[in-house]
């Protein structure tokens, strides 16, 4: 069944959101590199790669459905942050917006009885639960560390142990 133009447009927009997230995470890598928190920088690099993979997944889905991919402009991200906590607060907000965006595509697919898209988006819904949980937990730990620099450095070391996406169980 040919993909509905409305779903096609929504998926193209979602590809842009994933690419925008990837670019913002890369900007966060820049911030952490600048302040020499290599563990956090490494972790954000992984996050960047994950978002690229999300965009590619949707890109491939649209092609598989015989749809037309349209790549839109990615807004310029900022590498200016007030603190480590600010970075993770921004990341959490971004993920919450992304969840809302995926929910919107899901809702549209439901209205249009597009079962294949609903099935494909299921993975993204599960992924978003994971993303928001991770950001909230990490933000919690950073806030707990507060002004304790040695606690933050311990956290920085731990962040360097993030496994590859392929090594993580998929939701
Ligand atoms: Mg994503």
Is there a domain that residue 99 lies in?
A: yes
C-alpha closest to that of 142 among 86, 78, 81: 86
Look up the domain containing 34 and give its range.
5-159
Is there a domain that residue 130 lies in?
A: yes
Is there a domain that residue 55 lies in?
A: yes
CATH at residue 114:
1.20.1260.10
CA 10 – ligand 1 centroid, Å: 15
Is there a domain that residue 164 lies in?
A: no
CA 1 – ligand 1 centroid, Å: 26
Is there a domain that residue 169 lies in?
A: no
CA 21 – ligand 1 centroid, Å: 7
CA 75 – ligand 1 centroid, Å: 16
pLDDT of the chain, 171 residues: tens digit per residue: 799 999 999 999 999 999 999 999 999 999 999 999 999 999 999 999 999 999 999 999 999 999 999 999 999 999 999 999 999 999 999 999 999 999 999 999 999 999 999 999 999 999 999 999 999 999 999 999 999 999 999 999 999 998 876 555 444
Please, what's the b/e burial string for 62-97 (b: 16 or more CB within 10 A of its CB; e: otherwise)? Answer: beebebeeeeeeeeebeeebeebbebbbbbbebbee
Is there a domain that residue 27 lies in?
A: yes
Is there a domain that residue 151 lies in?
A: yes
Residues with Cβ within 8 Å of residue 5, at least 6 apart in sequence: none
Q: Quick one: pLDDT at residue 167?
A: 54
Quickly tell me which residue has 């809702």 as its tokens: 107
Indicate the number of domains in the chain: 1
The DSSP H or E segment spanning 91 is: helix 84-111
Is there a domain that residue 168 lies in?
A: no
DSSP string, 93-116: HHHHHHHHHHHHHHHHHHHTT-HH
CA 50 – ligand 1 centroid, Å: 7
CA 97 – ligand 1 centroid, Å: 10
């Amino acid at each position: 069944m040919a993909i509905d133009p409305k779903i096609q447009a929504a998926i193209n927009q979602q590809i842009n959101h994933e690419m925008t997230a990837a670019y913002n995470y890369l900007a966060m890598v820049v911030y952490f590199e600048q302040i020499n928190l290599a563990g956090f920088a490494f972790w954000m690099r992984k996050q960047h790669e994950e978002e690229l993979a999300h965009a590619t997944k949707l890109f491939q889905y649209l092609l598989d459905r015989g749809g037309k991919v349209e790549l839109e402009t990615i807004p310029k991200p900022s590498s200016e942050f007030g603190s480590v906590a600010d970075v993770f607060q921004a990341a959490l907000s971004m993920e919450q917006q992304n969840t809302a965006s995926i929910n919107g595509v899901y809702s549209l697919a439901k209205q249009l009885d597009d079962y294949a898209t609903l099935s494909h988006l299921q993975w993204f819904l599960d992924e978003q639960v994971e993303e928001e949980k991770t950001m909230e937990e990490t933000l919690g730990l950073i806030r707990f560390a507060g002004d304790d620099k040695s606690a933050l450095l311990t956290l920085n070391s731990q962040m360097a142990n993030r496994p590859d996406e392929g090594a993580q169980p998929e939701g």
